């Protein structure tokens, strides 16, 4: 089944308002006519409004880097006494369409677990936001030969109990932690192997048809010069781009490589 490629930029903790405006304006010019690749940028929360105004009338969709929710009495919390947090309902209200959840930096620095990610995904589904769910192994885990089981535990934990029709519209990002921000990219064969494994887990959980619809992005030092080969792999349906999404030309070149 042909899946439309999807390239998303994770701006992380970067860009003041004016820089965010310049970056998205520059990108919009470069990708204005792209229709055959889905594109999203995920600025920090405070730049969302700035970016939202500038993506109007362009092919660029708006994403966020996180959302907060927990399950309380069987319901997803969207407001209340959770100082400093931003809920999926607030993001939806702000015009966001996609949300990165479970990024390894959130797992590493903010105690994000698969169970927490699961509650966040559920809450996103409730308000009509689509998640980009990040999974990936540490270097030690790859060296121990347990990459597939680590990723399987993450996928099963993050998606536990979630409805097939929503999962089908979601994105999974395979991001080997050792490749994020390091300049060290997984080889296309290494990435393809894990992507195929993730899809096989989805087949077991949801059946072939759903598994065929889910887009699986690769993330980890994807750049204009390695994007084409990675994106040519059968189960690599796009990229989640950190560093290279901060330069409009580099990010646009990756988008063009996905065509
Ligand atoms: C990321 O943060 O999701 C990422 C893939 O970063 P980078 O492209 O910089 O490795």
User: What total of structural domains would you count in the chain?
Assistant: 1
Chain-centre distance of CA 172, in angstroms?
Answer: 7
Structural domain boundaries enclosing 12: 6-257
State the distance from the centre of ligand 1 to the C-alpha of 242, rounded, in angstroms. 3
HEC string for 16-30? CHHHHHHHHHHHHHH
Average pLDDT along the chain: 98
Q: What is the domain-level CATH number for residue 194?
A: 3.20.20.70
Q: Is 53 a catalytic residue?
A: no
> What integer pLDDT is reported at residue 222 of this predicted model?
98
Domain membership flag for residue 1:
no
Are the beta carbons of 38 and 4 closer than 8 angstroms? yes
Cβ–ligand 1 distance for 118 under 6 Å, the answer: no
Domain assignment of residue 57, yes or no: yes
pLDDT at 137 > cutoff 90? yes
Instruction: Give the span between the Cα atoms of 226 and 128, in whole angstroms.
Output: 33
The residue contributing the CA closest to ligand 1 atom 7 is 242
Residue 31 belongs to some domain of the structure: yes
pTM (2 d.p.): 0.98
State residue 197's pLDDT score.
Answer: 98
Any atom of ligand 1 within 6 Å of the Cβ of 230: no
- Could you give the CA distance from residue 86 to residue 122 in angstroms, rounded to a whole number? 15
219 lines ligand 1 (CB under 6 A): yes
């Amino acid at each position: 089944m042909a899946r439309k490629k999807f390239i998303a930029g994770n701006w992380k903790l970067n860009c003041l308002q004016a820089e965010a405006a310049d970056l998205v304006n520059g990108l919009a010019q470069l990708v204005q006519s792209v229709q055959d690749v889905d594109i999203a940028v995920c600025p920090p929360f405070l730049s969302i409004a700035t970016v939202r105004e500038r993506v109007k009338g362009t092919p660029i969709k708006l994403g966020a880097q996180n959302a907060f929710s927990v399950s309380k009495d069987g319901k997803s919390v969207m407001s209340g006494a959770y100082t400093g947090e931003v809920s999926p309902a607030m993001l939806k209200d702000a015009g966001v369409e996609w949300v990165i959840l479970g990024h390894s930096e959130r797992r590493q620095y903010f105690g994000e677990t698969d169970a927490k990610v699961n509650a966040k995904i559920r809450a996103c589904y409730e308000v009509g936001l689509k998640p980009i769910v990040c999974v990936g192994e540490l270097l030690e885990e790859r060296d121990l030969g347990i990459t597939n089981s680590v990723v399987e535990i993450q996928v099963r934990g993050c998606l536990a109990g979630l409805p097939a029709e929503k999962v089908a519209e979601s994105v999974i990002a395979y991001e080997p932690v050792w490749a994020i921000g390091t300049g060290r990219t997984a080889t296309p064969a290494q990435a393809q192997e894990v992507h195929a494994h993730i899809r096989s887990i989805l087949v077991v959980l949801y059946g072939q048809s759903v598994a065929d619809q889910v887009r699986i992005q690769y993330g980890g030092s994807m750049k204009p010069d390695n994007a084409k080969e990675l994106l040519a792999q059968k189960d690599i349906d796009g990229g989640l781009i950190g560093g290279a999404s901060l330069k409009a030309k580099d990010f646009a070149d990756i988008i063009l490589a996905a065509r």
